[in-house]
Amino acid sequence: MATTTDFSAAALAELARADAARALAEDVGAGDLTAALVPADRRARARILARQPAVICGAAWVEAAVRQVDPAATVHWLVGEGQRTMADQVVVEIEGSARGLLTAERTALNFLQLLSAVATKTATYVEAVRGTRAQIVDTRKTLPGLRLAQKYAVRTGGGTNHRIGLFDAVLIKENHIAAAGGVKQVLQAAAKVAAQAAFVEIEVETLAQLKEALDNGATMILLDNMDLPTLREAVRTNDQRAVLEISGGVTLETLRPLAETGVDRISIGALTKDVKAIDFSMRLKEI
């Protein structure tokens, strides 16, 4: 039921290149006035350290930022993408123009700290539901312009991507139901565009709505803000006829009991919306 996103090496490199180009244009503008104080022929070696444990994510973005200012730079990862690092561990070594490394530093670290934070948080949530049938799923609550990067980070952390945007899947919510005239009417309308969508999902808030959705052929249902007893009853009522997803107010503390109700998916906006950057620092020396 996940949407198919191309995160192949080639696609990832192009995505990172475009993201890094925008970020560098925003940061560098007409030129890095401070890096210009360093002799143009000076070379340096940089080491990026993780100041706290994390799941590393964002290698393609780091490399894109560095190589857009110094195409000849060499990058050697000591902790691979998706692997865990300990506090104060060197995760990558970079060699190249001192000016280039200084100019790329903040952009590279910004991507690394954000994407590693998303991957790390996702991995924590995935571990919390281990042994249940529930998948951890992201949402569209992403930073504008960085949705694919953040969804890639969710995937790196072991999570599953929901729809990428409004264009690739149908998610019918309360306002859609009201505007269309009811559950039956909106599902009938959705059937006409189902062939264009990765999936058609409808949100319900009560057991009565769940039964109505099932009776009208729903194959994927979002259970919104239901308490545990209601969720257990919803799973019994569904009897594996449709994929059941939970959404709304999910926290790490409430996650395990929710997963143990027997639902298939738990979507969590906090994976991409409420993240605290992982602390990385770069140390540079002349060579």
Give the integer Cα–Cα distance in Å for 246 and 134. Answer: 10
Task: Specify whether 106 is located in the same domain as 147.
Answer: no
pLDDT at site 199 = 93
Mean pLDDT across the stretch 237-247? 97
Annotated binding-site residues for substrate read 106, 139-141, 163, 173, 203, 224, 247-249, 268-270
Residue 247 lies in a domain: yes
- Report the percent of the chain where pLDDT is more than 90: 94
Q: How far is Cα 15 from Cα 276, in angstroms, rounded to an integer?
A: 23
pLDDT of 3: 56
CATH of the domain at 109: 3.90.1170.20
Determine the pLDDT at residue 2: 46
Output the domain CATH number for residue 160: 3.20.20.70
Q: Do residues 110 and 164 both lie within one domain?
A: no
Structural contact between residues 233 and 209, judged by C-beta atoms closer than 8 angstroms: no
Closest CA to 171 of 132, 218, 106, 125: 218
Question: 156-200: per-residue pLDDT in tens?
Answer: 999 999 999 999 999 999 999 999 999 999 999 999 988 899 999
Model confidence, pTM = 0.94
Residue 271 confidence (pLDDT) above 90: yes
Question: 72 and 154: one domain?
Answer: no
Query: Domain residues for 217?
Result: 127-273
**Could you tell me where the DSSP H helices lie in the chain?**
9-28, 59-69, 98-128, 147-156, 174-180, 183-191, 207-215, 228-238, 252-259, 270-273
Asked whether residue 4 is domain-assigned, the answer is no
d(CA 76, CA 85): 15
With respect to residue 3, please indicate whether it lies within any of the assigned structural domains. no
Question: What's the whole-number mean pLDDT along residues 238-245?
Answer: 97
Name the average pLDDT for the chain. Answer: 95
In this structure, are residues 234 and 247 in contact, taking their beta carbons and an 8 Å threshold? no
Under 8 Å between Cβ of 61 and 112: yes
Q: Specify the pLDDT at position 248.
A: 87
The token pair that represents 10 in the structure block: 């080639």
Catalytic residues: 106, 141, 173, 203, 224
pLDDT attached to residue 4: 58
Exposure of 229 by Cβ count < 10 A (0-12 exposed, 13-18 middle, 19+ buried)?
exposed
My answer on whether 131 and 148 are in the same domain is yes
Question: Do 255 and 266 meet the contact criterion of CB atoms below 8 Å apart?
Answer: yes
Q: pLDDT tens, 47-103? A: 999 999 999 999 999 999 999 999 999 999 999 999 999 999 999 999 999 999 999
> 61 by DSSP, 3-state: which?
helix
pLDDT tens, 92-135?
A: 999 999 999 999 999 999 999 999 999 999 999 999 999 999 99
Burial of 131 (0-12, 13-18, 19+ CB in 10 A): exposed
- The count of domains in the chain is 2
Whether residue 1 is predicted with pLDDT greater than 80 in this model: the reply is no
267 and 282: one domain? no
- Same domain for 21 and 135? no
Question: Are 195 and 254 members of one domain?
Answer: yes
Same domain, 145 and 261: yes
My answer on whether 102 and 140 are in the same domain is no
Q: Same structural domain for residues 131 and 269?
A: yes
Do 114 and 145 fall within a single domain? no
Looking at the fold, whether 150 and 58 belong to one and the same domain comes out as no
Task: Tell whether 217 is covered by a domain.
Answer: yes
